[in-house]
Structure 1
Amino acid sequence: MANIDSITLDVADPTAAERFYTAAFGLDKQLRLRASEAPTTGFRGFTLSLTVAQPSTVNSLIDSAIEAGATSLKPVTKSLWGYGGVVQAPDGTIWKVATSAKKDTGPATRQIGEIVLLLGVEDMTASKRFYVGQGLAVGKSFGSKYVEFAADSSSVKLALYKRRALAKDAGVSPDGTGSHRLMIGGDAGTFTDPDGFAWEATASAAAS
């Protein structure tokens, strides 16, 4: 089964971005940063989601992100599915922090349960078929709306969402051009998917 080892964000200032992600979310090994001035405007076609155990952890991480310089796109709120909010990092990356729990069951922490990379796609059927062909196994599938791939040993879980729906969920316009400013690293190999998202083989893939 193919897995994701890391994600690399292309940012204008890696030092500043590292400072932000350490202060905001405490991320280190799963997230890599690379200097880039690749042209990009509007929605970049993806979001990153941090799933946590309870509402107080959502509050802690969202508050830390805003204090570190993030912009609130969707304030933290309760919904039918749980509790969460969306922010945009200073480098432009959109992050959602959410939990399916509606009440706290213990002291507040900053522990992250899962990191989910959601790619906005134009043709769900074609993208799903493409990724299955690259060795990823489907974990959940809801017709043409959402596909989530199994991630037994991945640092990051991969999911596909219709581009317009993903932008709406993030609270932004779906319009955007230029670079995604994203590189996905894993053992599936080096390729570019139907929506222009690039993958590279990581050192762990080469070792295996």
Structure 2
Amino acid sequence: MKKLSLLLALSLATVTAFAQKNDTNGPVGLRSSTDYDAGTSGSRNTGFGIKGGFNLADVYGDSKANFANSSNSKTFHAGIYGQYGFNNRLSIQPELLYSRQGFQGTSTNTPTSGTPATVNDRRLDYLQLPVLLVFNILDNVSIHAGPQVSLLTKVTEDGKERKIANEGNVYGYSYTSIDYGVSAGAEARVGPARVGARYTAGFNEIIKDQLATTGSKALTDIKNSVFQVYLGIGFTQ
């Protein structure tokens, strides 16, 4: 018991001495987002990290009304990011994300065979490249906005994978392989962790090359709409 008490006393004395020494050299701890070394970009706004989270995916556009029982899809995204600070407030942040999107809604389209094809659930897998300007409004709170471009890598309709580019357009329509749009959101930091929310609006039509058939409704004027909530871990330089 005496040995334990002595060990605790020595440990406390060591910690106290270390704290007093650091206190004479100024405050210590994690650098803030707006704390820069003179003449460098070495703040917490410069580094890289990983991130991932929840997608609430849907579509918007004039043709959305032509899909019965439409609703959003609850999916996910994940990827990496890099960040470079220009000054004590402004930085640029490119990202590379895998984002699963899509929407639910019943539509009937007549393909070349003449047999109606009904689809209820569409899943669209994208590789996304957003390039965002980040502005710190507070020490550990920032807003961000910028353009993004997406490459469609996989399409699933009611659980069945289908081709993105359809030779002969046997389905009566096809999917656009490239999407582009804008993203905007906000983020907070706690130590190395990040938590944020973002909205991304696509500007390109998801569906194209719809065949004109008697009594068919337009399906092509729909675009991606995604709300994201994410967590991330950053590594500063």
Q: TM-score range by the shorter chain?
A: under 0.3
The structure number with the bigger radius of gyration is 2
1 or 2, which has the higher helix percentage? 1
TM-score normalised per structure 1:
0.23
Which structure carries more relative contact order (alpha carbon 8 Å, separation 6+)? Answer: 1
The TM-score with structure 2 as length reference comes to 0.21
